[in-house]
Amino acid sequence: MSISILRMPASSAGGENSPIAPAKLISGQPMQETHNMFTNNAENFFCGVWRSEEGKWNIEYSEDEFCYMISGEAIICSEDGTCETVKAGDAFAIPAGFKGTWESIGHAQKFYAIYEASE
């Protein structure tokens, strides 16, 4: 059996569109698109492309996520008020247990790789 690499084009289409859950929403009415391109056999590692429209919402991570911003800009603030601005070309990680807000400034797009540890 041969195992091949999987390319993930930033311009990928065919993602799942959904609004940000009303209970999390702070401002705007952003739609998001998630195009998951890979899930491992254990179903605890995922990667693909995510896009969102302008808006701000609460986030709470049970998983570890690595991100690479393809385009746009976002402001990520932790519960203690510390904020980081990320923009196209930036790579960053959000650890499991992080709570705060995500604010997309205009349209934002990122590659993501998510690992969800077993309980």
Domain boundaries, the chain: 19-115
pLDDT in tens, 18-54: 999 999 999 999 999 999 999 999 999 999 999 999 9
CATH topology of domain 19-115: Jelly Rolls (2.60.120)
Q: Fill in the DSSP letter of residue 79.
A: T
Q: Which helix (H) or strand (E) holds 83?
A: strand 83-87
Main-chain phi, psi angles of 5, to 5 degrees: -75, 160
In the chain, alpha helices (H): none
pLDDT, averaged across the chain: 94
Rounded to whole angstroms, how far apart are CA atoms 119 and 111? 26
Q: What per-residue confidence (pLDDT) applies to 119?
A: 67
pTM score, whole prediction: 0.91
Per-residue pLDDT of 81-108, as tens digits, reads 999 999 999 999 999 999 999 999 999 9
Residue 11 pLDDT > 90, yes or no?
no
Q: Indicate the residue type of 80.
A: D
